[in-house]
């Protein structure tokens, strides 16, 4: 019996995460269900740890990027001083209208020290490249519904940002590029509001509103490239919780990540960010 259990767990370990999440729980014995549950929780925990590390790395990337963009600005000034015409400094739009264009007193999220001892993510995630959407303060991603639906039955995507009967906030991983000055940054704190719409037809309607962020250098909105895996996993997880098909274990501790820039977050701007301390949902 114990041997069979071990074999079962070993089998689970070799499965793709999505396959584990897709298992029809009713088809297994009580003991096996428990093992499946444990495996799902184990994967989620590993993913959460990877994200915490990604947040730290994001801080380091942000400071490197800030240094680079300072260098680029300096080169533009040098070019102008040498008499060469430059359209890069005259063409700026909304970003520099506030008159603060020195760039020197703008502080990006402080970098967390990345020590050699830092825990490494189990698997390094690369945000998948997607064609850019027009710049907005928040986005919906109906194009990822089929991926969410792989792990959750009886759900319907709704193109709505109106509150329904269920509401939760989470944060996602994304990389952004400033629409004005071109500065780039990566973050594990993309504010996201997940809304649920309970319906008579037995289908759970839902939407996930993902909020843009502003550039620390010039305050313009960024082009957002979302990490699709995190999106799918977080949204599916929330829908499963709402459907009563998954109960998360309470978090025991939070790992250190750089502080959230409330002033640059479009989720915070409308009081919809899990990091804004509103305690919603
Ligand atoms: Zn910018
Ligand atoms: Zn926020």
Which secondary structure element, helix H or strand E, spans residue 33, and what is its range? helix 30-81
Q: Which residues surround ligand 2, an ion (CB under 5 A)?
A: 191, 265, 267-268, 273, 275-276
- The pLDDT of residue 125: 58
Beta bridge partners of 208: 194
- The pLDDT of residue 66: 62
Residue 81 Cα to ligand 1 middle (Å): 23
The answer as to whether 168 is a domain residue is yes
Residue 83 has pLDDT above 80, yes or no: no
Phi-psi sector, 143: left (phi>0), alpha (psi -120 to 50), beta: alpha
Kindly report the average pLDDT of the chain as a whole number: 78
> How many domains does the chain contain in total?
1
Q: Residues for the chain: how many in total?
A: 281
Ligand nearest to the CA of 213: 2
The answer as to whether 114 is a domain residue is no
The answer as to whether 116 is a domain residue is no
Note down the domain range covering 263: 2-85+123-276
Beta bridge partners of 186: 175
pLDDT tens-digit series, residues 94-132: 334 444 444 344 444 445 555 555 555 555 555 555 556
pLDDT tens-digit series, residues 158-184: 999 999 999 999 999 999 999 999 999
- Cβ(111)–Cβ(63) under 8 Å? yes
pLDDT tens-digit series, residues 60-76: 556 655 665 665 555 55
Instruction: Give the DSSP per-residue string, 133-167.
Output: PPP-SEE--GGGHHHHHHHSSSEEE----S--SEE
Q: How far is Cα 52 from Cα 112, in angstroms, rounded to an integer?
A: 11
Q: What average pLDDT does this structure show over 69-84?
A: 54
Beta bridge partners of 225: 175
The answer as to whether 154 is a domain residue is yes
- Cβ(237)–Cβ(198) under 8 Å? no
Residue 267 Cα to ligand 1 middle (Å): 18
Q: How far is Cα 188 from Cα 49, in angstroms, rounded to an integer?
A: 12
Q: How far is Cα 199 from Cα 162, in angstroms, rounded to an integer?
A: 15
The answer as to whether 136 is a domain residue is yes
């Amino acid at each position: 019996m114990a041997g069979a259990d071990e074999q079962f767990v070993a089998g689970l370990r070799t499965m793709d995460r999505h396959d584990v999440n897709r298992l029809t729980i009713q088809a297994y014995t009580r003991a096996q269900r428990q093992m499946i549950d444990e495996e799902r929780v184990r994967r989620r925990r590993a993913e959460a740890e990877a994200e915490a590390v990604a947040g730290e790395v994001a801080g380091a990337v942000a400071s490197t990027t800030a240094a680079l963009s300072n260098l680029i600005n300096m080169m533009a000034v040098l070019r102008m001083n040498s008499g060469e015409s430059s359209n890069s400094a005259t063409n700026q739009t909304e970003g520099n209208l506030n008159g603060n264009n020195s760039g020197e007193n703008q502080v990006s999220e402080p970098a967390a020290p990345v020590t050699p001892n830092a825990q490494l993510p189990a698997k390094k995630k690369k945000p998948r490249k997607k064609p850019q959407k027009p710049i907005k303060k928040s986005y919906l991603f109906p194009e990822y519904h089929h991926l969410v639906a792989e792990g959750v039955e009886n759900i319907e995507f709704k193109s709505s940002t109106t509150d329904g009967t269920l509401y939760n906030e989470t944060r996602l991983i994304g990389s952004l590029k400033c629409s004005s000055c071109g500065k780039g940054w990566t973050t594990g704190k993309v504010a996201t509001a997940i809304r649920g719409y309970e319906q008579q037809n037995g289908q759970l309607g839902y939407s996930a509103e993902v909020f843009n962020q502003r550039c620390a250098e010039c305050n313009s909105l960024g082009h957002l490239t979302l990490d699709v895996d995190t999106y799918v996993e977080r949204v599916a997880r929330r829908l499963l919780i709402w459907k009563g098909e998954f109960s998360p274990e309470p978090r025991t501790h939070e790992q250190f990540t750089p502080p959230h820039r409330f002033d640059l977050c479009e989720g915070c701007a409308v009081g919809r960010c899990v990091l804004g301390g509103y305690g919603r949902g």
